[in-house]
Structures are given as C-alpha cells and as structure tokens.
Amino acid sequence: MTNKINLAINLSILALLIYLLVAVKEIQDEVFPDPNIMIPMKSKISDDQFKDMVKQLLIQKLNQGEQ
C-alpha cells in the first residue's frame, strides 16, 4: 500500500517538474529568441504596475526593519 502511495507521489512530482520545465522553456524562448539579444518582458506588466510592486516591496521591507 505504501509503495502505491510513494509511486503516486513520485509521479506527481515528476509531472510538476515537467510542467515547470515547459513553462520555463516558453519564457526563455520569448525573452531570448536570439542568443545575442535579450528582449525585456515589458509586455507582461506595465510601468505603473512595476512601480507599484517596487513601492510595495520597499514598504514591506521598511516595516520588517521596524519590527
């Protein structure tokens, strides 16, 4: 019985790793279509969203420092 559970867990981990490999490969192909040129992923988030994310990160770090 435990062998079947271990097999199911191992297969689930393998499936997750394969899924992540494919996702990372897709991102890598989008960012590095040519080995000599890197294309920024600017289309994924806007400048305002990026600014807000940086502000939130800095505020969070400042709050952690005060505690």
The predicted structure's pLDDT at residue 62: 85
User: Are 16 and 6 within 8 A, CB to CB?
Assistant: no
User: Are 39 and 30 within 8 A, CB to CB?
Assistant: yes
The predicted structure's pLDDT at residue 39: 67
38-65 pLDDT, tens digit each: 666 666 777 788 788 888 888 888 888 7
Residues whose CB is less than 8 angstroms from the CB of residue 39 and which lie 6 or more positions away in sequence, other chains included:
30, 31, 32, 33
Question: The whole model's pTM is what?
Answer: 0.46
Q: Where are the domains of the chain?
A: 2-66
User: Are 65 and 59 within 8 A, CB to CB?
Assistant: no
Distance CA 8, CA 13 (A): 9
13-44 pLDDT, tens digit each: 999 999 999 888 888 877 777 767 766 666 67
Structure tokens at 23: 């996702």
